Amino acid sequence: MSASANPKFLFVTGGVVSSLGKGIACASLGLLLKSRGLSVTIMKCDPYINVDPGTMSPYQHGEVYVTEDGAETDLDLGHYERFIDENMSQMNNVTTGQIYFDVISKERRGDYLGATVQVIPHITDEIKLRIDMLARQSNADIVIVEVGGTVGDIESLPFLEAIRQYCIEHRQDCLTMHLTLLPYIRSAGEIKTKPTQHSVMRLREIGIQPDFLFCRSEHHIDEATRKKIALFCSVDPDAVIEATDAQTIYEVPLQLAEQKLDEQIIKRLNLKGAPAKLAPLESVVKKIKDPEKRVSIAICGKYTRLKDAYKSIIESLVHAGVANNSAVDIKWVNSEDVEHSDNPGSFFEDVHGILVPYGFDFRGIEGKLIAVRHARENNIPFFGICLGLQCAVIEFARNVCGIENANSAEFDKDAADPVIHIMESQRSIKQKGGTMRLGTYPCVTTPDTLARKMYGSEIIIERHRHRYEVNNDYRNVLEENGMILSGLSPDGNLVEIIELKDHPFFVGCQFHPELKSRIVRPHPIFVHFVEAALTHQG
Ligand code: GLN
């Protein structure tokens, strides 16, 4: 990134309802501005009191996205990375928990001696400091700041107040955009603007006048409605941006470019932008909307009720599909259903590949083991990620090596044969938050293996989030029976990738490749997995 002496800021807030896709909106805008030659970074402010989402259930929060530097962050950071193709860091995700933690630590240290420590100014100052720090560290021309939650939430008030102050203190350098919903009332055949008006009113009460409105809508906004929204909300008609439901999220930057949102931002912030280069994205979108082929992959996990738990895996499959000119249809298979079924094979009859994703704890494990066995015995392409690798090792140990009681110490701490056991470095850890093996570690791929072929390089760098690993005491017996340890930590101590001899595609990895797949750079394991599924389909 080029150094920016005068960074600009775009603050993005949400209104009316949650889940409008603020993360995608910010990521899309980031992509658009970057395509015009500007350097961009994005910060997510999460109003909850957890220091990070690492201790939350996937059902509460969806996927925990791990950055290169090992921060456990909001899944929106995954969208940011995938769209703008820049690595985020722990600086890009700020939570109320972190802000209070820092302010209370400073108070104990005596930094505020003599003062009563209050939400305003101490908490708001700390938020502003975090924005300044990210701007400095990233050297970005534009820092986009997304505030989680919806205007009116008690929790997000300090963030909004900090933004209000920031905009006054850096008047020339800041813009704000508010995301709203324009509901369509079928019986009246009309788009309704009142919730948007109320939401903007709420924002104005706090002292923020939005410069742009990003309106989610099922239907096209006609000119009269656009003018009405502009008039009531005090924005330019051109600044009312319509975002109708897109067939693919990768189309959103194109929708925004059509409405010249990037151009308006660049002009208002007095920046210089080159013409947007969107041809690569246009070609991706075309391939997603009009695929030559379709292939079906089963994801067998236990968080299948909330697809957000597997966000990066879903997107990585989309990217790998594009690389193979194919759509990838995901069949969600709940591992507990497999476990309790009399005919588990029926879940996989119509799929061409089976993916067992990450996970924690023993619930649904036996179902995942059945899925692995089914893939192994029927030559169906298999891809195991983190817990998925661990399941593959347990299944192989039990059913191929004949180690009947093989298990993970995570599921049975007194297991007779803990083929998966706790990592040495994890043994003494008592505190749960932020203490897994997190972030990037190098891995050495073994020559003449599928892993080496897929990556095309000896040293690879991948991101991790786990406490358990393959128990080295069982390496020999696994290898003797045909398991290939195709990726190891540089000291040779940790098994990072496994594969099987005599199987068209059977790969497990201890790391999370889904965290590094980008639209423009699909991850090689996903690309080869989808390719193998297409071959299996015939
Ligand atoms: N629960 C396993 C571990 O901690 C796997 C973690 C994961 O799948 N991310 O090692």
Q: Using one digit for the tens of pLDDT, what is the confidence trace for 350-375?
A: 999 999 999 999 999 999 999 999 99
Amino acid at 357: P
For the chain, the 3-state helix, strand and coil shares in percent, each to the nearest 5, are: 40, 25, 35
Is the pLDDT score of 159 beyond 60? yes
Grouping H, G, I as helix, E, B as strand and the rest as coil, residue 362 is: coil
What lies within 8 Å, CB to CB, of 415 at 6+ separation is: 405, 406, 407, 408, 409
Mean pLDDT of 275-304: 95
Residue 319 CA to ligand 1 centre (angstroms): 24
More confident residue, 58 or 45: 45
Q: Candidates 465, 470, 471, 496: which one to mutate for ligand 1, based on the most atoms within 8 Å of Cβ?
A: 465
Residue 6 CA to ligand 1 centre (angstroms): 43
pLDDT at 100: 98
Nearest-atom number in ligand 1 for the CA of 388 is: 8
Please give the CATH number for the structural domain made up of 8-283: 3.40.50.300
- Give the active site residue among 514, 523, 528, 531: 514
Is the pLDDT score of 128 beyond 60? yes
What lies within 8 Å, CB to CB, of 511 at 6+ separation is: 386, 441, 443, 462, 463, 464, 496
pLDDT band, very low/low/confident/very high, at 2 (cuts 50, 70, 90) = very low
pLDDT at 60: 82
pLDDT band, very low/low/confident/very high, at 245 (cuts 50, 70, 90) = confident
Terminal-to-terminal C-alpha distance of the chain: 45
- Give the active site residue among 386, 391, 443, 509: 386
Could you state, in order of their start, the residue ranges of all structural domains in the chain? 8-283, 291-537
Which residue has tokens 């209050």? 118
| Residue whose CA lies nearest to ligand 1 atom number 8 | 358
Mean pLDDT of 420-424: 95
Q: Which two tokens stand for residue 332?
A: 């969600």
pLDDT at 194: 93
Q: Rounded to an integer, what distance in angstroms lies between the CA atom of residue 69 and that of residue 226?
A: 44
**Dihedral through CA 80, CA 81, CA 86, CA 90, nearest 10?**
80
Nearest-atom number in ligand 1 for the CA of 410 is: 1
Q: What is the pLDDT of residues 196-222, one digit of tens each?
A: 999 999 999 999 999 999 999 989 999
Residue 467 CA to ligand 1 centre (angstroms): 6
Angle at 516 between CA 278 and CA 438, to 5 degrees: 145
Mean pLDDT of 422-444: 94
| Third-level CATH fold of 291-537 | Rossmann fold (3.40.50)
CB of residue 465 inside a 6 A radius of ligand 1 = yes
The residue among 518, 510, 21 whose CA lies nearest residue 245 is 21
Q: Rounded to an integer, what distance in angstroms lies between the CA atom of residue 176 and that of residue 458?
A: 46
Residue 465 CA to ligand 1 centre (angstroms): 7
| Residue whose CA lies nearest to ligand 1 atom number 5 | 387
The residue among 105, 101, 97 whose CA lies nearest residue 53 is 97
The chain-wide mean pLDDT, for the chain, equals: 95
Mean pLDDT of 109-120: 96
pLDDT at 334: 96
Q: What is the pLDDT of residues 255-268, one digit of tens each?
A: 999 999 999 999 99
Percent of the chain with pLDDT over 90: 92
Grouping H, G, I as helix, E, B as strand and the rest as coil, residue 137 is: helix
Q: Does 45 participate in catalysis according to the annotation?
A: no
Is the pLDDT score of 1 beyond 60? no
- Give the active site residue among 61, 512, 523, 528: 512
pLDDT at 4: 64
Q: Rounded to an integer, what distance in angstroms lies between the CA atom of residue 164 and that of residue 14?
A: 15
DSSP 67: P
Q: Rounded to an integer, what distance in angstroms lies between the CA atom of residue 388 and that of residue 132?
A: 40
The residue among 505, 515, 492 whose CA lies nearest residue 446 is 492
Strand partners, 294: 327
The residue among 436, 437, 435, 455 whose CA lies nearest residue 446 is 455
The residue among 34, 73, 26 whose CA lies nearest residue 465 is 73
pLDDT at 297: 98
**Dihedral through CA 318, CA 214, CA 245, CA 92, nearest 10?**
20
The residue among 277, 57, 218, 38 whose CA lies nearest residue 144 is 38
Grouping H, G, I as helix, E, B as strand and the rest as coil, residue 290 is: coil
pLDDT at 188: 85
Angle at 293 between CA 288 and CA 298, to 5 degrees: 85
Cα 61 to chain centroid, rounded: 11
Grouping H, G, I as helix, E, B as strand and the rest as coil, residue 19 is: coil
Cβ proximity of 531 and 352 under 8 Å: no
Burial of 246 (0-12, 13-18, 19+ CB in 10 A): middle
More confident residue, 145 or 219: 145
Cβ proximity of 287 and 61 under 8 Å: no
Query: How many other C-beta atoms are found inside a 10 Å radius of the C-beta of residue 197?
Result: 16
Q: Does 512 participate in catalysis according to the annotation?
A: yes
**0.85 cut: is pTM over it?**
yes
Widest CA span of the chain, in angstroms?
75
DSSP 412: -
User: Is there a common fold for 8-283 and 291-537?
Assistant: yes
Question: CA neighbours within 13 Å on the CB side: how many for 416?
Answer: 6
CB of residue 463 inside a 6 A radius of ligand 1 = no
Mean pLDDT of 370-390: 98
Q: Which two tokens stand for residue 463?
A: 């991101």
CB of residue 468 inside a 6 A radius of ligand 1 = yes
Q: Which two tokens stand for residue 292?
A: 């030559």
